[in-house]
Amino acid sequence: MLEAGLTEAELAALEKRFGFEFADDHRALLAEVLPTGRGWPDWRAGDSETLRRQVDWPVEGVLYDVVENDFWYERWGERPSRDEEAVEQAKAHLATVPRMIPIFVHRCLPSGRGTFGYPVLSMHQTDIIHYGFDLLDYVSTEFYPGDPDRPTRHPMPIPFWDDLL
């Protein structure tokens, strides 16, 4: 279902509450129309706890793999032997990479005002794939599969997250 888009005040309040800025293309979509229903973040009426879990999903997935699957990103240096220390170091490193914001289920787009055209990633822990070259391509892929007119191009790189592809 589609509802009226979020107002500037609603967008600003969400950004303040969750500590990120929507990318320009994500913000423009949400200002124009608010997709609702199963799988969509309920940006207008959702409870804060559910939205927080959705916003934190990408980082929490990496942290899960650090503990449960011995994931360690080589650029982080040597992995601490204790899981608790590894998680703390991973959190510190993840705080420096683009924050991934949910669009639909586990499809995410990098945050950041002044940014647009980044790929949408399908993210489940450290299992990450491109799911659209940009937001428009993602919508086409997800909801209109098999479009013969779908352009193909190389997506813009997302620091850290692209290394997990």
Tens digits of pLDDT across the chain (165 residues)? 899 999 999 999 999 999 999 999 999 999 999 999 999 999 999 999 999 999 999 999 999 999 999 999 999 999 999 999 999 999 999 999 999 999 999 999 999 988 889 999 999 999 999 998 999 889 888 887 776 666 667 788 899 999 998
Q: What are phi and psi of 87, to 5 degrees?
A: -65, -45
Count Cβ atoms within 10 A of the Cβ of residue 45 and give its class: 0-12 exposed, 13-18 middle, 19 or more buried.
exposed
Every domain of the chain and the residues it spans:
2-164
Distance CA 104, CA 49 (A): 17
Taking alpha carbons only, the member of 22, 11, 25, 6 closest to residue 98 is 22
Residue 20 is which amino acid? F
Question: What is the pTM assigned to this prediction?
Answer: 0.90
